[in-house]
Structure 1
């Protein structure tokens, strides 16, 4: 037992010793080698070679900058031949160097350290640098020669002529294509149907093809411009670097857009499927609601005037649901910019649409309470006329004087609505027009009733059945208020009926020698003529009207 404990103790001590000693046996921060400096020598947008080592106090970057400046100075001096550039070996302070110089001007020095980093001998490296500099200078001078500039101008003219000719050809070809597509509408371009259900009409397909052709045309024009502009700039040495940069940007942009498009194809397919299903659902529901409106198909408790508003509301809900499903698949949906714009639009909508939302809710309530519908003769507040348009925001009424009045739905919801057509449509009853006449107590009520009913019979557009009737609505201090009620059709001009009725009341009361009092009666008039001539003239004027 004692030996077991001793073995366990020895094992524990050995484990502890390993834990302590191992971190010191291996360095925690391994030695890192200093990376080599890489400074390319760039001349006219082209890398000639790379300087990888410092020389004396000058860093690789400083050496590359000095070499570029000296090469540029040498290239610009056309009096010095390229062959004057030579490589000479020398010993400077015990360091063996190879000097590339033009006569007495030193372009650069190459050390053994440079050759070691390039994994070549110093002579091989010097020869390689010498040939690279000579080729760059020769090209620099050739591009600025008179012959090269003349050729560049000639190539520019040829390219411009080709560019303009191509645009003219496109301007002649695509209108012909547009005309052909438009002529093929409903002939060679059929509608897309699934049995009797029409998904896309021929007009919609033709318009889609026309839009697609226009997009292709613009892509071709932009592609030609993307080739023409860098090509012309590359002909001249002063803009060649700009042309190369522009061409690289175009290639990079095209590659980025193409890779993004390829990566976006799955999301695009999902969006297209959502749009297609939404369109099919709406096209499926539209004939149903049209049948409900035309009463060829009916549902218990569903009125025909509810059909189109219900279809519009249901369409908005379906499109909103489709947007909720499709918007997360839009490009940049998770970006901060998209979120910021969404928040801004939400705040703007909530602050500026309170009255609009109130009108929308009021319009929806008015539709389903069936207070009126388009074509009804109504009185809303002080406005009397026919409803010519009902929207979710406003209701438009044309008065008898052809004045169109737009009333917000929220205001209509809090006003009294008098519908003159609803009783005839729902209850099959005619419209009753009342008018009040004030007669004295000395007139027997039978005589008053007879005169008023005779006036109603003389009015052309008053119905004979049901017959007009008179009510004694008030007994005032000096006169009695009689109310004459006549039956008319609601689709007639009520103002004209009232005018003829009032004329006839004056005529019949004058014939019966009955005075008509004003509501603000104070005293009897001094004279009240009753003669046949005045009655006859009044009747003639009534007939002329």
Structure 2
């Protein structure tokens, strides 16, 4: 009869087996008789060819087959003996539903067979009462109503959270245009905004799942059939909370150490930063520290201080000794190593530019074929604004290999020297050419009176001498504008004194000078200037701008 029960189907919960006996004998694992998620009794001993698991499956099928709707359930235990097996039958209204053996008793807990049977009967009575409760309409209607109400509240909570999230993201979308957070030449505000959005979304998902967990536990708890599952969910939540609290309490000393390291590091970094900021502004004078290099030195030292603090605090960070934390650390280290291969060259290039003081912000420089005013010297690149209002970004690694001309470095005292070249035929007296070039420089706005413009004869070529006019200006970034006006003045003065501007690579001399008469200087579409170009300035006064 017992073998026939093996064909009955019902899921049962198994527990870990116990190894025992002599000569390496392994006892079959114990099994629990479980119905509706409720444990009735644990079977530990085999019966003939039936293992404890087989017995548990057959017993669970018998329990589920107990007729429903009885006015009363009489449960009793009758001792029985079959061959070498001694035990008892637990009957419900005279029907055998559960067979237990004396060997099923937990000897390690000093439990008697009578206690074992009494516990099984009590749990069986409890389950039968729950099964009857599950069929009562008032309980079903109440559980359904409470479940629907809980579902509505949960849905309203999710909708409210989604609405708050949209408002948060809309407000956050306007923030980056208001304030910038700079790290070197990188604006961190967009990245921090993205991180904040991701954090808010992750937090909302976590809160939503947490409320969903509580909602599911509440709904399961409204029906006797699913109450064991609700109890399991509550137990898991309580267990995790206890572990969290215990972990926080145990980590308090280490967290205190990390906080102390952080505060001390912040104090030291603040003192160092304040000192170098004073050096930047000129408040601190030092032979080894220049204002131009103080900013870069401050950044380097502050970063090194924080890195050193992180190394000190690492062993005290909760979870730093776990394999997961170590794996993440190795992954981050690998990513930094691979990503910093090209970045190191850029950073070193920036440091070389700063510490060699090749140029500084505001200088007018020429780097390779690019020329303009230095707007920013960053950690990874340098930005130059050209006279055409173009912003050029030059990687700092390129600066190490390029030739850099600084027009502003020596122009702060005597001005920047600018040159222009003119080739005039040998038939023009060179003294007259010198005088006219100097006069053109004197009439040009932006040219300094001191040092006085002068002319050099660079070479005596086959067809003409090469004249080089040298003059000084205060603002190197204006040299193209000054040269443009100077070239116009040269043309006017040479026409005024009847000297033609021509490089005579010719076979025959023209019959008459090739000139532009003064009355044609302002021919259409040229317009007469006010004051007219060519007005002399008073001797000894500079019209430099």
TM-score above 0.5: yes
Q: Which has the higher contact order (CA 8 A, sep 6+)?
A: 2
Contact 2:447 2:472 in 1 (8 A): yes
Q: 1:446 aligns with which of 411, 431, 435?
A: 431
2:371, 2:136 → 1: CA distance? 90
Q: Is the contact between residue 433 and residue 486 of structure 1 (CA under 8 Å) also seen in structure 2?
A: yes
Match of 2:137 in 1: 146
Q: Which residue of 1 aligns with 2:170?
A: none
Any conservation in 2 of the 1:89–1:97 contact (CA below 8 Å)?
yes
Q: Check the 8 A contact 2:372/2:387 in 1, yes or no.
A: yes
Aligned-residue offset at 1:38:
4.5
SS at match of 1:312: helix
**Aligned match for 1:67, one of 55, 59, 67:** 59
Aligned residue for 2:410, secondary structure, equals helix
Greater shift in the superposed pair: 437-446 or 64-73 = 64-73
Instruction: State the 1:60 CA deviation.
Output: 3.1
Conserved in 2, the CA contact under 8 Å of 1:472 and 1:481? yes
Q: Does 1:471 align with 2:456?
A: yes
Could you tell me which of 213, 219, 223 is aligned with 1:236? Answer: 223
2:166 match: none
Give the direction of change, closer, same or farther, for the CA distance of 1:403–1:238 in structure 2 (3 Å limit): farther
Give the TM-score normalised by the residue count of structure 2: 0.75
Q: How does 1:119-268 map to 2 (within 5 A)?
A: 120=112, 129-156=120-147, 159=150, 227-268=214-255
Q: Distance in 1 between matches of 2:342 and 2:24?
A: 71
In structure 2, runs of 5+ residues without a counterpart are 1-20, 163-200, 534-545
Query: Could you give the per-residue CA deviations for residues 198-242 of structure 1, whole angstroms, max 9, x where no partner exists?
Result: xxxxxxxxxxxxxxxx99999998876654441222112454333
User: How many angstroms apart in 2 are the aligned matches of 1:355 and 1:33?
Assistant: 65
Q: Which runs of 5+ in 1 are unaligned?
A: 1-28, 172-213
Structure 1 residues 525, 241: CA separation in 2 closer, same or farther (over 3 Å shift)?
farther
Question: Compared with structure 1, are the counterparts of its residues 471 and 79 closer, same or farther at alpha carbon in structure 2 (3 Å cutoff)?
Answer: same
In structure 1, the partner of 2:518 is: 532
Alpha-carbon shift at residue 501 of structure 1 (Å): 0.2
CA radius of gyration, larger in: 1
Question: CA separation of 1:472/1:127 partners in 2, compared to 1, >3 Å: closer, same or farther?
Answer: closer
- TM-score with structure 1 setting the length: 0.75
What is the aligned-residue RMSD (CA, Å)?
3.9
Alpha-carbon offset, residue 378 of structure 1: 1.0
Matches within 5 A, 1:228-377: 228-377=215-364
Taking the aligned partners of 2:341 and 2:155, their CA distance within structure 1 comes to: 56
1:512 aligns with 2:497: yes
TM-superposed deviation, 1:68:
1.9
- Mark the CA change 1:165 to 1:480 in structure 2 (over 3 Å): closer, same or farther: closer
8 A contact 2:150–2:215 mirrored in 1: yes
CA distance in 2, matches of 1:534, 1:505: 16
SS of the residue corresponding to residue 350 of structure 2 reads helix
Residue pair 2:373, 2:477 contacting (<8 A) in 1 also: no
Give the corresponding residue for 1:20.
none
Matched, 1:480 2:465: yes
Q: Work out the CA distance in 1 between the residues paired with 2:45 and 2:22.
A: 24
Q: What CA distance in whole angstroms lies between the structure 2 residues aligned with 1:96 and 1:293?
A: 95
Query: Matched residues in 1 for 2:316 and 2:94: separation?
Result: 68
